[in-house]
Amino acid sequence: MPVNNESDTTSATREKDFTHLDEQGKATMVNVSDKIVTRRSATARSVVVLPGEVLAKLVNGDIQTKKGAVFQTAIIAGIMAAKKTGDLIPLCHPLGLENCNIHIHLDEQRQLVIDCTAQITAKTGVEMEALVGASIAALTVYDMCKALSHNIVIKETRLMEKTGGKNDFKRP
């Protein structure tokens, strides 16, 4: 049975904790009309564990399949998705991104690291755009490589850094 702590939570606390809830606890888009325009940037990372049979296909920094170059396709898919975040996440503001870059590399554990950085000068941040871009790039890698193995694991997706707005954030 779900726990309801609503009686313990004032609407002021709820509003502070959950910006997408109004005073009655109903879903709402955040009103950014009084915010100032600042330069905003966010970087998100997805980590994908590729099994040996997939890694064995890595040549010249990419994996070639009948569908095309995996990493190049993932980069394009991630950028396209970041631009569509407002259509995918119900309460996100639709944003005209000024820049979006995706970088893919293998780390020292031979895990695929996908970094997506989104940038804009606006009243609202681009964390969700960066997270969506990294996530869709990872899903594209999975889709293009699943014929080789279903043991691909999208291990994590997380915000690494954000600047602009009220608070900056940087994961140590």
Q: For residue 89, what is the domain's CATH number?
A: 3.30.70.640
Residue 151 falls inside a structural domain: yes
**Which residues contact residue 2 at a Cβ distance below 8 angstroms, ignoring those fewer than 6 apart?**
none
Could you read off the pLDDT of 73-98 as tens digits, one per residue?
A: 999 999 999 999 999 999 999 999 99
- Residue at 71: amino acid letter: F
Structural domains counted in the chain: 1
In this structure, the strands spanning 68-69 and 99-106 are: unpaired
Residue 13 falls inside a structural domain: no
> How many other β-carbons are positioned within 10 Å of the β-carbon of residue 43?
24
Whole-number Å distance between alpha carbons of 70 and 159: 23
pTM across the whole model = 0.87
Enumerate the active-site residues.
Answer: 143
Residue 28 falls inside a structural domain: no
Residue 19 falls inside a structural domain: no
Could you read off the pLDDT of 129-166 as tens digits, one per residue?
A: 999 999 999 999 999 999 999 999 999 999 999 999 88
Residue 71 falls inside a structural domain: yes
